[in-house]
Chain A
Amino acid sequence: MKLSELALGVLTAVGGFVDVSELVFMSQAGSRFGYALIWVVVLSTVGIMVFGEMSGRVAAIAKQPVFNLMRNRLGLRLGLITLIASFVSNLITCAAEIGGVALVLQLLTGAPMRLMAVAATAAFIATVWFLPFKWIERTYGLLGLFMLVFGVALVAIHPPWGQIAGGLVPQVPRGLSTRDLVAFAYFAVALLSAVMFPYETYFYSSGGIEDEWGPKDLGINRLTTIVGFGLGSLLAIALLASAAQLFGPAGISPEMIGTVAMQAGVPFGKVGVLLALLGMLFAIGGAAIETCLANAYSLGQFFGWRWGRHRPPREAPRFTLSWILVFAGSLVIVLTGVEPVELAEYAVVASILVLPLTYLPLLLLAGDRTYMRVHANGLLSKTLGWGFYVLIVLAAIAALPLFLLTSGGQL
């Protein structure tokens, strides 16, 4: 394994970790509850490390992407229900990402948002059509590293590091009203969902097959998921902590995505805002492509079409048509005028509902020695996997009532 390959993989994972839902929810959670939800981000990151590593390992050893597994393990009917639910969830997420990109472009250029949404979608289609898979991942992942300005900004504003460290301890803040307690629970579930979005495993495992992973790639898989996601999570925590420091005392609970860029603007002025907007542009743009491709992968794998970006578009016509239509459908949703922040709120709730169905077949196959041989889940993977599975089932049960009770975190 080349060191440069490894470094690129890790950096790409860091730059691609944050998407529009994380930008919104990290900032709102920090401004509203200070550092008290940091432990949820850490816990969720361990969750995505566990399932990300598992999906990469299954792709490398059993050569099975997630949706192949679903159809085989859940059966046609339950598999189809999962496919439809995850398709809708990914479509809403993709629309939220495209809307987010359009908003950032509007803030950078002053051009109308709808025009920017059309331009961004055209650029994404061209990117996926012309660039090889690895370059799509790397271009957006590496340019998303502009987001590191949020980490530097946090250091520059001299936050109370002791209190931030205190946020690592699982807690429910004392003295909250009943309404605030319910909102705290809602944000905990939303952060879990935003970090563990199902499209991430669909995309990651399909990417492993696109890149023709084998047993020799298990090391890079493990390092990418643990180090890459771990460092990406630090970026997410920086967003939350900056918001706690800058927005909470000012009574701001970011209602506009653009407000997030001010976290870098306060210490670094115009340069900070521009770097933040560029980072947001590529991080959200990368997520738009990932969610769109995740949907096309799901359809291709479920119905047994020829799929993958390693084939020229004309050699996988139904797969190609799928991702173009997903982009087009997402654009239509954005053009209706729904706010991206609102879409992001729907996306996290829809996603958490899909998570249990996504991870169950993965857990079963990763533990199956017939397919995985010596690479089947060991005691640690098994324990963590089932532990997190119980957690996401509980979160899925609670998500919708909490969303309704808090009006999507507004109350």
Chain B
Amino acid sequence: MFGRLTLFALLLAGGCSSAKDEELAAAKGARSVLAEWSTVERLDRAGRLPRAYANEMREKAREAVLTDRKSIKDPDAGRTVDAVVSVAAPSARSLAAAGTHLQRAVDRLEAL
């Protein structure tokens, strides 16, 4: 295990995978934000969130996903994110589905 850690550290320290890491971090971030956004929509639909809170969380989630999108090069993941943010008021279900779809891109990037 120590050997693997050392190799991992050397690879990263050498900057060999910095672009991929940036993309992976962005994909993971976007996937989490989509799940957070989906939970906001679900709870808000059930009338369990204060209005100002729900609106601001929506806006912040959209901003965060758009920021992460800039670092996502994977075409499939990019299309998924674009499809969600192009809708004015995406549903909890579509957001959760997009998050699940993005997880596949995360898995692909992690495997590289």
Q: Which of B1, B24, B39 contacts A181 (CB 8 A)?
A: B1
Q: Is the CB of B40 within 8 A of A262?
A: yes
Please measure, in the bound complex, the distance between the C-alpha atom of A277 and the C-alpha atom of B56, giving whole angstroms.
13
Provide the bound-state CA to CA distance between A57 and B57, in Å.
45
The interface size bin for chain A is 20 to 34
In the complex, chain B residues whose CB is within 8 Å of the CB of A401: 9
Q: How far is the CA of A270 from the CA of B8 in the complex (A)?
A: 45
Interface status of B87 (Cβ within 8 A of chain A) = no
Q: Which residues of A contact B105 (CB under 8 A)?
A: none
| Known A252-B35, A274-B50: A182·B56 in contact at CB below 8 Å | no
Is the CB–CB distance between B103 and A251 below 8 Å?
A: yes
Contact A407 B25 (CB under 8 A): yes
A3 within 8 A of B: no
Q: Is A405 a contact of B12 with CB atoms below 8 Å?
A: yes
Question: B14 to nearest A CB, angstroms?
Answer: 12
The answer to whether B61 touches A256 (Cβ under 8 A) is: yes
**Does the CB pair B32–A254 fall under 8 Å?**
yes
Binds B, one of A103-111, A223-231, A284-292, A368-376: A103-111
A261 CB–B CB distance under 8 Å? yes
Q: Is the CB of A182 within 8 A of B36?
A: no
Q: Specify the chain A residue showing the minimal Cβ separation from B24.
A: A411
Contacts of B40 in A (CB 8 A): 262
CB pair B48 A269 closer than 8 Å:
yes
**Cβ–Cβ contact B21 & A407, under 8 A:** yes
Contacts of A261 in B (CB 8 A): 53
Asked if A253 is at the interface of the complex by the 8 Å CB criterion, the answer is yes
Instruction: Decide if B60 is an interface residue (CB 8 Å cutoff).
Output: yes
A266 at the interface (CB under 8 A from B): yes
| A107 contacts B35, C-beta separation under 8 Å | no
Instruction: List residues of chain A with CB within 8 A of the CB of B38.
Output: 250
Q: Mark A247-289, 1 if CB is under 8 A from B, else 0.
A: 0001111111011011001100110011001000000000000
For the complex formed, measure the closest distance between the CB of B32 and the CB atoms of chain A, giving whole angstroms: 5
Would you list which residues of chain A between 175 and 207 have a CB under 8 Å from chain B? 177-179, 181-182
Contact A258 B25 (CB under 8 A): no
Chain A, interface SS category: helix
Which of B8, B22, B60, B103 has the most CB atoms of chain A within a 10 A radius of its CB? B60
Given A109-B52, A270-B49, A255 and B32 touching (CB < 8 A)? yes
Query: In the assembled complex, which residues on chain A have CB atoms less than 8 Å from the CB atom of B43?
Result: 262, 265-266, 269
> How does the 8 Å CB contact mask read for B1-43 relative to A, with 1 for contact and 0 for none?
1001100110011000000011011001101110110111001
Are B9 and A411 closer than 8 Å at their CB atoms? no
* Bound CA span A59–B99, Å: 53
Contact with B along A399-411 (1 / 0, CB 8 A): 0010011010011
Residue of A nearest to B27 (CB): A410
CB of B55 within 8 A of chain A? Answer: yes
Q: Which of B5, B29, B33 contacts A178 (CB 8 A)?
A: B5
Residues of B within 8 A of A251 (CB): 31-32, 35, 99-100, 103
B61 and A182 form a contact (CB under 8 A): no
Q: Verify B22–A407 contact, CB threshold 8 A.
A: yes
A262-B60 contact in complex given A108-B52, A255-B32, A410-B29, C-beta closer than 8 Å = no
Residue contact B48 to A182, C-beta cutoff 8 Å: no
CA gap between A110 and B4 in the complex, in Å: 48
B49 close to A405 (CB less than 8 A)? no
Contact with A along B52-81 (1 / 0, CB 8 A): 110111001100100000000000000000
Q: Give the distance to chain B from A325, nearest Cβ to Cβ, in Å.
A: 30
Q: Which one of A179, A256, A265, A273 contacts B60 once the chains associate, using CB atoms below 8 Å?
A: A256
Asked if B49 and A265 make an inter-chain contact with CB atoms under 8 angstroms apart, the answer reads yes
Whether the Cβ atoms of B64 and A255 lie closer than 8 Å is yes
Q: Which of B48, B60, B103 is the one whose CB lies under 8 Å from A258?
A: B60
Question: From residue B21, how far is it (CB to closest CB) to chain A in Å?
Answer: 6
Alpha-carbon gap, A254 to B33, bound state (A): 7
Residues in chain B near residue A273, CB distance under 8 A? 48-50, 53
Residue in A closest to B48 when the chains form the complex, CB atoms = A269
Give the CA-CA distance A277 to B29 in the complex, in Å. Answer: 23
A236 to chain B, nearest CB (A): 21
Instruction: Specify which of A110, A179, A258 is in contact with B110 (CB 8 Å cutoff).
Output: A179
Instruction: Name 19 A/B residue pairs within 8 A (Cβ), A-sorted.
Output: A106-B56, A107-B57, A108-B52, A110-B52, A177-B110, A178-B1, A250-B35, A251-B99, A254-B32, A255-B29, A255-B36, A255-B64, A256-B33, A265-B48, A269-B49, A273-B50, A404-B12, A407-B21, A410-B28
Extra contacts besides A256-B60, A407-B22 (11): CB < 8 Å = A182-B5, A251-B31, A251-B35, A252-B35, A254-B32, A258-B56, A259-B57, A262-B36, A269-B49, A270-B47, A410-B28
